[in-house]
Amino acid sequence: MHSGAPQAAATVLIVEDSPSVRRLIEVSVRPLGLRMLSAEDGISGLAMAKAELPDVILLDIGLPGIDGWEVLRELRGDAATADIGIIIVTAHAQPEVAAAAERRGADGFITKPFRPGHLRDEIQALLDQSAKFRQTG
């Protein structure tokens, strides 16, 4: 059901310590027309997630300050952020890391280097899922 009113763009928060990877993610995601925010460490990423309540968070594991696992734990433990879609984006390609991400509450897991189309597809799937939930819930 579309009212004809302009819909606010969904927001994605990129929590990644590497400036070049942050830039690559931004360029890869740009075709989706999302509002993009970024943080370079776990502490600022957690603060930004709580302040902005983005629709999707792309979260690296190996972050300075507090790591991505701790950010994930804190976000899932806070009622205000518990339902945000979180995709782990990491160079740790081991199956046990992917299993740990799922067990700890991540909604997706992508390894670096990633295919831009795959990243966009994962983000879009989460956005579609959350839109359906809002419409039916």
Read off the pLDDT of each residue in 66-71 and give the average, rounded to a whole number.
97
From start to end of the chain, where are the E strands?
11-15, 35-39, 56-59, 85-90, 108-111
Q: Return the CATH superfamily for domain 11-136.
A: Response regulator (3.40.50.2300)
Where do the structural domains in the chain lie, given as residue ranges? 11-136
Residue 8 pLDDT: 72
Residue 2 pLDDT: 40
In percent, how much of the chain has pLDDT > 90? Answer: 85
pTM over 0.95: no
| CA distance from start to end of the chain | 15
